[in-house]
Copies of this chain bind each other. A is one copy, B any other.
Amino acid sequence: MPTVSSEELAAAAGVNSAKLRKDFSYLGSYGTRGVGYDVEYLVYQISRELGLTQDWPVVIVGIGNLGAALANYGGFASRGFRVAALIDADPQMAGKPVAGMPVQHTDELERIIQDNGVSIGVIATPAGAAQQVCDRLVAAGVTSILNFAPTVLTVPDGVDVRKVDLSIELQILAFHEQRKAGEEAADTMPAVAARKQPADKGPDGDVPAVMPA
C-alpha cells in the first residue's frame, strides 16, 4: 500500500478525517491532493518530528523485576532507544547479565552518564532510593527522567519528569467497572460517574490509535 487517504487513516485510528488532516498540516504539507499521503514519506516525516530517527541512549537504574522487565522490553530498540547501561545499588547484582548486558554498580553512575552522553534516565528503584538516584542523575547531566517509583520527584527547572503509576491504569478500569455495575441506577448517580465518555485514552492515550471504547 504505497499511499493512504486521510479517510482510511482516520477510520483505522478511530478519529475524524478532518482532524487527522489538520493535525498533519501542522507538520507541513506532506499529502498530495487527489491521491493521499505517501506512506513511506509520511512515516519518515512523523518519525522525524517525534524524534524517533534519533538515537537516544538511556540508563535504567534499579534492576529488580521491573528494571529487568524494562531491560528486556523489545519496544525500545525499534523506537530509537538504546539501553546504554543497567545500574543497581546491590553489589551482588554487579556483573550479572540481564537482557544480555552486565549490571553495573551505582558507583559508576556518573561516569556512565557522561561517557555515553545519556540525557534520559529511567528510575525503577524502590521508593526510598528514587529521589537520591534522581539527584545524582540530574547532577550528572540527565535532563529527562521516567519514574516508576511511587514517589513524586523534585527536580530543578529544565528537567522533565514523567511518572508512571501502574496502579492508576487499574484504577481507571475499576472506575468504569463500577459504572457498568451500576448502569441501571444511572439516574441517581452523580453527574461525573453517569456521563458517557467517548473512549477515553490511556497513557498512550494521546495515541488513540486503537482504543476500544
Q: Is A132 an interface residue (CB 8 A)?
A: no
* A203/B165 in contact, CB under 8 A: yes
Number of A residues whose C-beta is below 8 Å from B?
Answer: 76
* A51/B161 in contact, CB under 8 A: no
Give the interface SS of chain A, mostly helix, strand, loop or mixed. mixed
**Number of copies of chain A assembled together:** 2
* Chain A 163-182: CB-based contact to B (< 8 A → 1; otherwise 0): 11111111111111110100
A170 to B146, CA, bound (A): 7
Which residues of chain A have a CB within 8 Å of any CB of chain B? 26-28, 49-52, 54, 56, 58, 64-66, 68-70, 72-76, 79-81, 119-120, 122, 143-146, 150, 152, 155, 158-178, 180, 190-193, 195, 197-198, 200-207, 209-213
